[in-house]
């Protein structure tokens, strides 16, 4: 069976681009969560459902993982089930030795680039702070309104903890506490 795994980082983002990129899948698994770790419901389900000779397809490596370590662990788990991985945008196929090699190299390069970008951003922020040009995010600048507000109230009322809410909405936990306080004061939760 061909199992196509697609992922976006937030609920607001669309899977369309990935879904249009491949139409030969027998089963599609889709997550709308960050790829920074392996704790993703549909990824877990796909890995658990794998059988010998299955093929896991992803549009790009970053849809599968943003960490070389996790990428290699996921790849190893796929291989241990007798399945293979195909990455569409890099034309990688782990059923071949060269495909396994390229997967490892490309994953390491991608992680290095992310770390370099992060370091450059931090350097830029430090210089801007020294020059008095950077003061951080304006307090209260992350607003909760419209569809996001309704979604927050729904998740909050279902008992999601602060950490999960922060991940879901892409904000710090302190923002979740502030939103909670404001909505409680208004009697909305």
Of these residues, 9, 30, 34, 67, which one is catalytic?
Answer: 9
| Exposed e or buried b per residue across 8-25, where buried means at least 16 C-beta atoms within 10 angstroms of its C-beta | bbeeeeebeebeeebeeb
- Is 85's pLDDT higher than 90? yes
Return the pLDDT at 61: 87
The residue extents of the domains of the chain are 2-107, 146-185
pLDDT bin (cut points 50, 70, 90) of residue 110 is: confident
**Over residues 47-73, mean pLDDT:** 91
pLDDT bin (cut points 50, 70, 90) of residue 47 is: very high
Q: Shortest CA distance to 168 belongs to which of 69, 39, 63, 73?
A: 39
- Is 87's pLDDT higher than 80? yes
Alpha-helix runs per DSSP H in 30-145: 41-49, 61-64, 68-80, 97-130
Q: What is the CATH number of domain 146-185?
A: 1.10.10
pLDDT bin (cut points 50, 70, 90) of residue 166 is: confident
Residue percentage of the chain with pLDDT more than 90: 41
Tens of pLDDT, residue by residue over 22-42, are 999 999 999 988 887 788 999
Residue percentage of the chain with pLDDT more than 70: 97
Whether the model clears a pTM of 0.75, i.e. scores above it, the answer is: no
CATH level 3 topology of 2-107: Rossmann fold (3.40.50)
**Average pLDDT of every residue of the chain:** 88
Contact 128, 119 (CB under 8 A): no
Return the pLDDT at 142: 65
Q: Is 148 a catalytic residue?
A: no
Return the pLDDT at 106: 78
Give CA–CA dist 189/108, Å, rounded. Answer: 45
Return the pLDDT at 141: 53
Return the pLDDT at 137: 62
- Is 120's pLDDT higher than 90? yes
Contact 170, 184 (CB under 8 A): no
């Amino acid at each position: 069976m061909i199992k196509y795994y697609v992922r976006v980082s937030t609920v607001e983002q669309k899977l369309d681009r990935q879904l249009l990129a491949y139409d030969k899948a027998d089963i599609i698994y889709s997550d709308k969560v960050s790829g920074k770790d392996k704790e993703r419901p549909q990824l877990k389900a796909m890995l658990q459902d794998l059988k010998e000779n299955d093929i896991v397809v992803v549009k790009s490596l970053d849809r599968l993982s943003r960490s070389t370590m996790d990428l290699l662990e996921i790849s190893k788990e796929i291989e241990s089930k007798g399945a293979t991985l195909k990455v569409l945008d890099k034309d990688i196929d782990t059923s071949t030795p060269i495909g396994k090699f390229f997967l490892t190299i490309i994953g390491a390069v991608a992680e290095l680039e992310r770390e370099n970008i992060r370091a450059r951003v931090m350097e830029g922020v430090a210089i801007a702070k020294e020059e008095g040009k950077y003061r951080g995010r304006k307090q209260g600048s992350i607003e909760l309104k419209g569809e996001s507000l309704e979604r927050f109230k729904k998740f909050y009322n279902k008992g999601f903890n602060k950490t999960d809410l922060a991940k879901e909405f892409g904000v710090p936990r302190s923002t979740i506490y502030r939103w909670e306080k404001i909505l409680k004061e208004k009697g909305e939760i």
